[in-house]
Structure 1
Amino acid sequence: MKIAISARGKITDDSLDPRFGRCEYFQIYDTDVKATKILNNKGIEASGGAGIAAANQLIDEEVDVIITGSLGPNAFEIIEKADIKAYKCDNIAISEALEKYNNNELEEITIAGKSHNGMHN
Structure 2
Amino acid sequence: MAVSVGKKDLSGLVDDRFGRCPYFMLCDSEDVEGTAEWKDNPALASTGGAGIAAGEFLDREKVKVLITGSLGPNALRVVQASGVSAFSAPGSMTVLESVRAWATGTLPAITAAGQAHAGER
TMscore range, shorter length: over 0.9
Aligned-partner Cα distance in 2 for 1:66–1:48 = 21
User: Between Structure 1 and Structure 2, which shows a larger proportion of strand residues?
Assistant: 1
Structure-to-structure mapping, 1:1-121, within 5 angstroms = 3-31=1-29, 34-91=34-91, 92-120=93-121
- What is the CA–CA distance in structure 2 between the aligned matches of 1:118 and 1:9, rounded to whole Å? 22
d(CA) in 1 for partners of 2:42, 2:119: 14
In 2, the alpha carbon distance for the partners of 1:14 and 1:71 equals 20
Distance 1:59 1:37 in 2: 16
Identical aligned residues as a percent: 36
- Residue 32 of structure 1 and its aligned partner are, at CA, apart by 5.7
Secondary structure of 1:45's match? coil
TM-score normalized by structure 2?
0.93
**Paired residues of 2:2 and 2:67 also in contact (CA < 8 A):** yes
Q: What letter is aligned with 1:8?
A: G
Structure-1 separation of matches of 2:30 and 2:102: 16
Deviations 1:64-83 (A, max 9, x none): 10000000111100111111
Structure 1 runs of 4+ aligned residues shifted over 3 Å read 31-34
Give the secondary structure class of the aligned counterpart of 1:51.
helix
Structure 2 SS opposite 1:108: coil
RMSD over aligned Cα atoms: 1.1
Report the count of equivalent residues: 118
The two structures have a TM-score, normalised by structure 1, of 0.93
Structure 2 unaligned blocks of 5 or more: none
